[in-house]
Amino acid sequence: MGFGNVSERRNAPPQIGVSVVILALGPRSHDVRDTSASHCQLWLPLVRRVRQPFLGCWALPGGDLRADRSLEQSAYMALESTTSLHPRYLEQLYTFGDPARSHGGLPMVSIVYWALVEQREAVDAEDDDNVRWFPEDDLPPLAFDHRDIIDYALARLRSKIEYSDVATRLLGPTFTLRQLHGVYEAIAGQSLDLANFRRKMLASGDLEDTGRKVREGRQRPAAVYRYVPSDTLGIASPWQGNASTYSRQDMIESADSQIDHEAEHATTHADDALSPLIPAAHG
């Protein structure tokens, strides 16, 4: 598979693992009469490390990569085995592999996924000694570069909410416009005009009135909507074809692929290396 070049053999490949940033809605932690109208906030579960380095420190849930599983499946397994949660959304975030990030441990490449779980699931999940939920704006010191990874995941969520259905993944399959509005405000971190929000959402054509109504307080009942993706198919994702061999009844639903935002970043230059006579190619 392209390995075996002399200069490349000089150095063993690093370890690989999978980590997951899990996000869910929860109550506001600093409820100092919040000026903005939203009454919820993002929370995420962290696990306590049982090894050096950073022993006892909070860290992202993670696990190993298995050669017979897709990356998504490995991420799903890591997520499930550590937190018993079932995400409504799971997407690759970034792969981190800088040697400096291991801080004394062995060099480690982490393929990081981010996941969204329903509010209901998150409240059911109780904390224990080794897993605890933290509000997004009040995180403890974290192991490795996990704090940066979380910030990046949050940025991605904030970016992605503007052109995809991620917000609905934090709610159940059905929701009122006010609930959806609250999610948008919580993620954006600012208040949004409810009237315009309503119109924009309905104009998008991706919301379908279920006909049902619910009363949150004791006021007029609100219409309940469902998300129905308009079939403006984007470009097919390359990995869609290969994935999903191990489906299960409660498999989380597929999302239409769509090309979107990603973080630009600078690159560095490698120092000299022995050039192979024949270029390597690998799968």
Residues contributing to the site for DNA (CB under 7 A):
176-178, 193-196, 198-200, 203, 213, 215-223
Q: Where does residue 97 rank: exposed (0-12), middle (13-18), buried (19+ CB within 10 A)?
A: middle
Least distance CB 227 / DNA (angstroms): 16
261 binds, among DNA, its own copies, none (CB under 5 to 8 A by kind): its own copies
The answer to whether the Cα torsion of 45, 146, 41, 209 is positive or negative is negative
**How far apart are CB 9 and its own copies at their closest, in Å?**
8
For its own copies, the closer CB: 136 or 176 = 136
The torsion region of residue 158 among left (phi > 0), alpha (psi -120 to 50) and beta comes to alpha
218 binds, among its own copies, DNA, none (CB under 5 to 8 A by kind): DNA
Identify which of residues 144 and 225 has a Cβ nearer to its own copies in the complex: 144
Question: What one-character-per-residue DSSP string does 173-204 give?
Answer: SEEEHHHHHHHHHHHHTS---HHHHHHHHHHH
Instruction: Decide which of its own copies, DNA, none touches 32; Cβ closer than 5 to 8 Å per partner kind.
Output: none
Give the pairing type, strands 40-48 and 15-27: antiparallel
Q: Which is nearer to DNA, 21 or 186 (CB)?
A: 186
Peptide bond into 53 cis (omega under 30): yes
Q: Which does 216 bind (CB under 5 to 8 A by kind): its own copies, DNA, none?
A: DNA
Task: Specify the DSSP element, H or E, that contains 6.
Answer: helix 6-9
75, 252 Cβ separation under 8 angstroms: no
Contacted entry of its own copies, DNA, none for residue 6, CB cut-off 5 to 8 Å set by kind: none
Burial of 189 (0-12, 13-18, 19+ CB in 10 A): middle
| Minimum gap (Å) between residue 104 Cβ and its own copies | 10
Phi, psi for residue 73 in degrees, rounded to 5: -65, -40
The string of DSSP codes covering 90-150 is EEEEEEE--GGGGTTS--EEEEEEEEE--HHHHHHS---SSEEEEETTSPPPBSTTHHHHH
Toward its own copies, which CB reaches closer, 81 or 210? Answer: 81
Buried b (16+ CB within 10 A) or exposed e, 242-267: eeeeeeeeeebeebeeeeeeeeeeee
Residue 198 beta carbon to DNA: minimum distance, rounded to whole angstroms: 5
Q: Which does 200 bind (CB under 5 to 8 A by kind): DNA, its own copies, none?
A: DNA
- Give min distance, CB of 195 to its own copies, in A: 28
Written as one letter, the residue type at 93 is L
**In the complex with its own copies, which residue's Cβ is closer, 214 or 228?**
228
Of residues 49 and 181, the one with the C-beta less far from its own copies = 49
Q: Which does 1 bind (CB under 5 to 8 A by kind): its own copies, DNA, none?
A: its own copies
> Nearest approach, Cβ of 210 to its own copies (angstroms)?
24
Beta carbon of residue 266, minimum distance to its own copies (angstroms, whole number): 4
Decide whether 34 or 148 has the Cβ nearer to its own copies: 148
